[in-house]
Amino acid sequence: MKIVKITTHLVSVPVEEKSAWVSSLGRAVKRDCLIVEMETDTGIVGIGECYHGSSPLSLDRLVQKVLAPVLMGKNPLNWELNKSLLIKRAKLMGPFGLITMAVAGLEIAMLDIVGKHLGAPIYQVLGGFREWAPVYVGGLCLGWKDVDDLCAEAKKYVEQGFKAMKLRMGRGYERDVDSVRRVRETVGPDIRLMVDVNQGYSDRDAMKIIKKYEECDLFWLEEPVPHDKLAIMARLRAMSPVNLAAGENSFTLGDFKRVLDAGAVDIIQPDACKIGGIGDMRKVAVLAESHQIEVHPHIIGTSIALAAALQFVGTIPNAGMIEWDNSEGNLFRDGIIKDSYEIADGQIKIPSAPGLGVEVDYDFLKEYPYVDGPCYV
């Protein structure tokens, strides 16, 4: 079997004004993604996704002009060898960032081909451990709203059967504490609550607010300070029973080793579409297991990225929860694949069809071509 063609699909979907979120980046007006399509001489086609890092055009050119030629004529079943060739080709550009994002989409596509060739989902090809995974509501919902609206949204998710949810905070000490306290009162004591600050607190505010979050029985606090402040993270972890989570902004095995060795986290959150794919996710999981730490994958892309994360957690013993973006009008969740995910009793089923287990809707890719311009205004 040989790789004969690699095509990229740049996609932009609009964000309706009524469902637009506002963050430190501004108000969202669109979402972009880069999908990789890999064809073989046997007719098997693999699909992958790259996290674009707000630079989709640069990433697309990197995949097409620098990395894709390396794979022409290669056997996708030798995906580990092929991946090493990609890293070697790009090593003078640095070991992380756009490089690992680009490699991720290509590696995931190769693994999709491997699974389809063998007639099994990726998680079984790599060694199956579970068929279902705990799920929590997160993504681009449950944040950036007035507290009454936030509580109403949280109550709705409890009624839908979700047992855990993550709130987007970072809009000020008093407002954050009040919002989390009110949501806890709304959902009751049996729902896991997490907070993601996206590196939004100062060191001093983080140390003050984590004590308040203890009173709300918070399960984890995610990226309270800039991700490279490992000493501060370790200090926060030592002073509070609230679990600290991070990892979405780490890109290499060395990055994750430094985070874990520093004692900076209770929960690690690698992103398959950022760190080079499912293979590197599994290496991070082994590192985390040696520290007795669970892996809760970070996901911010489409349902293809979600499929990759699910296939990954299906292979490891120390997997935690999967993030489910329950926001309204989410075309990245509902439109880009023909399949739908099965969620029941706070669990999500890992796709069991061969490869990633999902089928891309190519009509959708044509309907939403890339639109130049920023995602936030």
Question: First and final CA of the chain: distance in angstroms?
Answer: 46
The CA radius of gyration of the chain, in Å to the nearest whole number, is 20
Nearest to 138 by CA among 294, 256, 297: 297
Q: Rounded distance, CA 250 to CA 199, Å?
A: 13
Question: Tokens 């309270």 map to which residue?
Answer: 224
- Which residue type occupies 311? Q
Do the strands 220-222 and 30-40 form a parallel or antiparallel pair, or are they unpaired?
A: unpaired
Strands (E), the chain: 3-14, 22-23, 26-27, 30-40, 45-50, 132-138, 164-168, 192-196, 220-222, 243-246, 267-268, 294-295, 322-325, 343-344, 347-349
DSSP codes joined into one string, 36-49: EEEEETTS-EEEEE
The answer to whether residue 296 is catalytic is no
Residue 134 bridge partners (DSSP) = 347
Torsions phi, psi for 185 (to 5 deg): -65, -35
Of these residues, 9, 117, 296, 298, which one is catalytic?
298
Exposure string of 270-308, with b = 16+ CB inside 10 Å and e = fewer, is: bbbbbbbbbbbbbbbbebbeeeebbbbbbbbbbbbbbbb
Nearest to 139 by CA among 325, 332, 341, 330: 325
Dihedral sign from CA coordinates of 329, 335, 338, 343: negative
Nearest to 8 by CA among 70, 90, 67, 54: 67
Residues involved in catalysis? 298
